[in-house]
Protein backbone atom coordinates (compact mmCIF):
# COMPACT_ATOMS: atom_id res chain seq x y z
CA UNK A 1 0.00 0.00 0.00
CA UNK A 2 2.82 2.40 0.83
CA UNK A 3 4.36 2.03 -2.67
CA UNK A 4 1.02 2.82 -4.29
CA UNK A 5 0.57 5.76 -1.95
CA UNK A 6 4.03 7.17 -2.70
CA UNK A 7 3.70 6.89 -6.47
CA UNK A 8 0.22 8.36 -6.65
CA UNK A 9 1.08 11.15 -4.23
CA UNK A 10 4.24 12.05 -6.15
CA UNK A 11 2.32 12.21 -9.40
CA UNK A 12 -0.34 14.43 -7.84
CA UNK A 13 2.08 16.75 -5.99
CA UNK A 14 4.40 17.28 -8.98
CA UNK A 15 1.79 19.60 -10.54
CA UNK A 16 2.33 22.20 -7.81
CA UNK A 17 5.14 24.65 -6.98
CA UNK A 18 7.84 23.79 -4.46
CA UNK A 19 9.72 25.75 -1.84
CA UNK A 20 12.94 24.88 -0.02
CA UNK A 21 13.49 25.63 3.67
CA UNK A 22 16.76 25.47 5.55
CA UNK A 23 17.20 23.75 8.91
CA UNK A 24 15.66 25.88 11.67
CA UNK A 25 13.36 27.89 9.39
CA UNK A 26 9.77 28.04 10.60
CA UNK A 27 7.35 26.93 7.91
CA UNK A 28 4.11 27.55 9.82
CA UNK A 29 3.67 29.48 13.05
CA UNK A 30 1.33 28.25 15.76
CA UNK A 31 -2.00 30.04 15.34
CA UNK A 32 -1.35 30.82 11.69
CA UNK A 33 -3.99 29.99 9.10
CA UNK A 34 -1.92 28.61 6.20
CA UNK A 35 -2.66 29.67 2.66
CA UNK A 36 -1.73 26.17 1.44
CA UNK A 37 -0.95 22.76 2.86
CA UNK A 38 2.43 21.10 2.41
CA UNK A 39 3.62 17.73 1.12
CA UNK A 40 7.24 16.84 1.90
CA UNK A 41 9.32 15.86 -1.13
CA UNK A 42 12.66 15.82 0.69
CA UNK A 43 13.77 16.25 4.30
CA UNK A 44 12.13 16.18 7.73
CA UNK A 45 9.82 18.70 9.39
CA UNK A 46 9.48 19.01 13.17
CA UNK A 47 6.14 19.84 14.77
CA UNK A 48 6.32 21.30 18.26
CA UNK A 49 4.65 23.38 20.92
CA UNK A 50 6.15 25.88 23.37
CA UNK A 51 5.67 25.76 27.12
CA UNK A 52 4.71 28.88 29.08
CA UNK A 53 8.44 29.26 29.81
CA UNK A 54 9.33 29.10 26.13
CA UNK A 55 10.69 25.54 26.23
CA UNK A 56 10.28 23.52 23.06
CA UNK A 57 8.02 20.46 23.26
CA UNK A 58 8.27 18.32 20.09
CA UNK A 59 5.13 16.40 19.17
CA UNK A 60 6.30 14.69 15.99
CA UNK A 61 8.64 14.48 13.02
CA UNK A 62 7.13 14.45 9.54
CA UNK A 63 9.08 12.83 6.73
CA UNK A 64 9.11 12.64 2.94
CA UNK A 65 5.81 11.60 1.41
CA UNK A 66 3.74 13.00 4.25
CA UNK A 67 1.51 16.06 4.47
CA UNK A 68 0.82 18.69 7.10
CA UNK A 69 -0.83 20.30 9.03
CA UNK A 70 -3.32 17.42 9.13
CA UNK A 71 -5.89 18.93 11.48
CA UNK A 72 -6.11 22.04 9.29
CA UNK A 73 -6.15 20.10 6.03
CA UNK A 74 -9.27 18.24 7.10
CA UNK A 75 -10.90 21.38 8.48
CA UNK A 76 -10.86 20.34 12.14
CA UNK A 77 -9.25 23.61 13.28
CA UNK A 78 -9.13 27.11 11.70
CA UNK A 79 -5.36 27.47 12.18
CA UNK A 80 -2.22 25.48 12.91
CA UNK A 81 -2.07 24.15 16.48
CA UNK A 82 1.73 23.63 16.37
CA UNK A 83 4.85 25.25 15.02
CA UNK A 84 6.27 23.49 11.96
CA UNK A 85 10.00 23.90 11.39
CA UNK A 86 12.52 22.45 8.93
CA UNK A 87 14.52 19.84 10.86
CA UNK A 88 16.95 19.05 8.05
CA UNK A 89 18.82 21.16 5.52
CA UNK A 90 17.16 21.81 2.17
CA UNK A 91 13.72 20.66 3.19
CA UNK A 92 11.81 20.65 -0.10
CA UNK A 93 8.03 21.00 0.12
CA UNK A 94 5.18 21.01 -2.37
CA UNK A 95 2.69 23.87 -1.83
CA UNK A 96 -0.77 22.48 -2.48
CA UNK A 97 -4.29 23.94 -2.10
CA UNK A 98 -5.94 21.83 0.56
CA UNK A 99 -9.23 21.53 -1.36
CA UNK A 100 -7.33 19.96 -4.25
CA UNK A 101 -5.65 17.50 -1.89
CA UNK A 102 -8.84 16.50 -0.10
CA UNK A 103 -10.63 16.01 -3.44
CA UNK A 104 -7.72 13.86 -4.63
CA UNK A 105 -7.82 11.68 -1.51
CA UNK A 106 -11.60 11.24 -1.75
CA UNK A 107 -11.50 10.24 -5.40
CA UNK A 108 -8.88 7.50 -4.99
CA UNK A 109 -9.77 4.62 -2.61
CA UNK A 110 -6.14 3.43 -2.45
CA UNK A 111 -5.08 6.89 -1.30
CA UNK A 112 -7.88 7.08 1.25
CA UNK A 113 -6.84 3.73 2.75
CA UNK A 114 -3.18 4.75 2.83
CA UNK A 115 -4.10 8.05 4.47
CA UNK A 116 -6.15 6.20 7.10
CA UNK A 117 -3.26 3.82 7.72
CA UNK A 118 -0.90 6.75 8.21
CA UNK A 119 -3.16 8.50 10.72
CA UNK A 120 -3.64 5.28 12.70
CA UNK A 121 0.15 4.95 12.85
CA UNK A 122 0.38 8.56 13.96
CA UNK A 123 -1.94 7.82 16.85
CA UNK A 124 0.15 4.83 17.87
CA UNK A 125 3.29 6.97 17.69
CA UNK A 126 1.73 9.62 19.92
CA UNK A 127 0.65 6.91 22.37
CA UNK A 128 4.23 5.62 22.53
CA UNK A 129 5.54 9.12 23.12
CA UNK A 130 2.99 9.73 25.87
CA UNK A 131 3.94 6.43 27.49
CA UNK A 132 7.58 7.56 27.57
CA UNK A 133 6.71 10.91 29.17
CA UNK A 134 4.58 9.45 31.95
CA UNK A 135 7.57 7.79 33.63
CA UNK A 136 9.12 9.73 36.48
CA UNK A 137 12.72 8.50 36.28
CA UNK A 138 15.00 10.22 33.77
CA UNK A 139 16.55 6.92 32.67
CA UNK A 140 13.14 5.40 31.90
CA UNK A 141 11.95 8.50 30.03
CA UNK A 142 14.96 8.21 27.75
CA UNK A 143 14.76 4.46 27.26
CA UNK A 144 11.09 4.58 26.31
CA UNK A 145 11.78 7.57 24.05
CA UNK A 146 14.60 5.65 22.34
CA UNK A 147 12.22 2.74 21.82
CA UNK A 148 9.56 5.07 20.37
CA UNK A 149 12.06 6.66 17.98
CA UNK A 150 13.49 3.28 16.96
CA UNK A 151 10.07 1.98 15.97
CA UNK A 152 8.71 5.12 14.32
CA UNK A 153 11.88 6.61 12.82
CA UNK A 154 14.25 3.68 12.65
CA UNK A 155 15.53 1.17 10.15
CA UNK A 156 16.72 -2.35 10.98
CA UNK A 157 20.47 -2.96 10.77
CA UNK A 158 20.46 -6.24 12.67
CA UNK A 159 18.10 -8.79 14.16
CA UNK A 160 17.36 -6.62 17.19
CA UNK A 161 19.23 -3.43 16.31
CA UNK A 162 17.74 -0.35 14.73
CA UNK A 163 19.30 2.87 13.52
CA UNK A 164 17.35 6.06 14.21
CA UNK A 165 17.20 7.99 10.94
CA UNK A 166 16.79 11.39 12.61
CA UNK A 167 19.96 13.32 13.41
CA UNK A 168 19.32 14.09 17.06
CA UNK A 169 21.35 16.07 19.59
CA UNK A 170 21.37 15.87 23.38
CA UNK A 171 19.18 18.99 23.34
CA UNK A 172 16.67 17.22 21.09
CA UNK A 173 16.40 14.39 23.59
CA UNK A 174 16.04 16.92 26.40
CA UNK A 175 13.18 18.60 24.54
CA UNK A 176 11.51 15.28 23.81
CA UNK A 177 11.62 14.13 27.43
CA UNK A 178 11.34 17.38 29.43
CA UNK A 179 14.78 16.82 30.97
CA UNK A 180 17.68 19.24 31.06
CA UNK A 181 20.34 18.82 28.38
CA UNK A 182 22.88 17.83 31.03
CA UNK A 183 20.65 15.11 32.46
CA UNK A 184 19.81 13.78 29.00
CA UNK A 185 23.51 13.64 28.09
CA UNK A 186 24.40 11.84 31.34
CA UNK A 187 21.69 9.22 30.94
CA UNK A 188 22.48 8.64 27.27
CA UNK A 189 26.14 8.09 28.14
CA UNK A 190 25.12 5.53 30.78
CA UNK A 191 23.12 3.64 28.16
CA UNK A 192 26.06 3.83 25.78
CA UNK A 193 28.37 2.26 28.39
CA UNK A 194 25.80 -0.53 28.84
CA UNK A 195 25.87 -1.08 25.03
CA UNK A 196 22.14 -0.41 24.83
CA UNK A 197 22.83 2.40 22.38
CA UNK A 198 25.74 3.62 20.32
CA UNK A 199 26.31 7.06 18.84
CA UNK A 200 29.04 9.56 18.08
CA UNK A 201 29.82 12.74 16.23
CA UNK A 202 28.13 12.57 12.81
CA UNK A 203 27.02 9.03 13.71
CA UNK A 204 23.31 8.25 14.10
CA UNK A 205 21.94 6.60 17.22
CA UNK A 206 21.66 2.83 17.08
CA UNK A 207 19.52 0.99 19.62
CA UNK A 208 19.79 -2.63 20.72
CA UNK A 209 16.11 -3.35 21.31
CA UNK A 210 16.88 -6.70 22.91
CA UNK A 211 19.01 -5.13 25.64
CA UNK A 212 16.57 -2.27 26.03
CA UNK A 213 13.66 -4.63 26.59
CA UNK A 214 15.64 -6.80 29.01
CA UNK A 215 16.27 -3.74 31.19
CA UNK A 216 12.70 -2.46 31.09
CA UNK A 217 10.99 -5.90 31.07
CA UNK A 218 7.77 -4.33 29.83
CA UNK A 219 4.99 -6.31 28.13
CA UNK A 220 3.93 -3.05 26.41
CA UNK A 221 7.20 -3.05 24.45
CA UNK A 222 6.91 -6.74 23.60
CA UNK A 223 3.45 -6.25 22.13
CA UNK A 224 4.65 -3.29 20.07
CA UNK A 225 7.53 -5.36 18.71
CA UNK A 226 5.03 -7.82 17.24
CA UNK A 227 3.53 -5.08 15.06
CA UNK A 228 6.48 -2.82 14.47
CA UNK A 229 6.66 -3.66 10.75
CA UNK A 230 3.33 -1.86 10.34
CA UNK A 231 4.36 1.32 12.19
CA UNK A 232 5.41 4.19 9.97
CA UNK A 233 6.93 7.53 10.85
CA UNK A 234 4.91 9.90 12.92
CA UNK A 235 3.29 13.11 11.87
CA UNK A 236 1.31 15.79 13.57
Of 58, 92, 108, the one marking the end of a domain is 108
Residue with the larger pLDDT of the pair 135 and 40? 40
The pLDDT of residue 212 is above 50: yes
Looking at the structure of the chain, the number of domains it has is 2
Residues 10 and 87 in one domain: yes
Q: What is the full DSSP assignment across 206-224?
A: EEEHHHHHHHH--HHHHHH
2: left (phi over 0), alpha (psi -120 to 50) or beta: alpha
Helix residue spans in the chain (DSSP H): 2-13, 70-73, 98-107, 109-133, 138-152, 170-177, 181-193, 209-216, 219-226
Q: The domain that contains 178 carries what CATH number?
A: 1.10.10.10
- What's residue 188's pLDDT? 95
**Overall average pLDDT of the 109-138 stretch:** 88
Residues 83 and 162 in one domain: no
**Overall average pLDDT of the 140-144 stretch:** 93
- What's residue 72's pLDDT? 96
Q: Is residue 128 part of a domain?
A: no
Q: Is residue 221 part of a domain?
A: yes
The pLDDT of residue 2 is above 60: no
Residues 140 and 72 in one domain: no
- What's residue 1's pLDDT? 45
CB-based contacts of 150, cutoff 8 Å, min separation 6: 162, 164, 207, 209
Q: The domain that contains 95 carries what CATH number?
A: 2.60.120.10
- For residue 95, give the H/E element and its range: strand 91-96
CB-based contacts of 88, cutoff 8 Å, min separation 6: 23, 43, 44, 167
- What's residue 225's pLDDT? 56
Q: What's the domain range around 187?
A: 135-226
Top-ranked range on mean pLDDT: pick from 4-13, 24-33, 214-223, 224-233: 24-33
The pLDDT of residue 191 is above 60: yes
Residues 147 and 95 in one domain: no
User: Which of these ranges, 14-18, 42-46, 226-230, has the smallest mean pLDDT?
Assistant: 226-230
pLDDT band of residue 230 (cuts 50, 70, 90) is: very low
Residues 99 and 140 in one domain: no
Q: Is residue 114 part of a domain?
A: no
Amino acid sequence: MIDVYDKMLKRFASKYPTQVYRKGEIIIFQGESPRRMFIIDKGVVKAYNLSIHGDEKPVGFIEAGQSFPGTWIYDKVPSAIYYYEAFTNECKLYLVPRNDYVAFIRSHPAMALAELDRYVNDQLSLSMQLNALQHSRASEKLMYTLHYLSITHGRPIGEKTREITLHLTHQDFANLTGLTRETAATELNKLKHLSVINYGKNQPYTVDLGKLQSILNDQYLSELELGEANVSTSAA
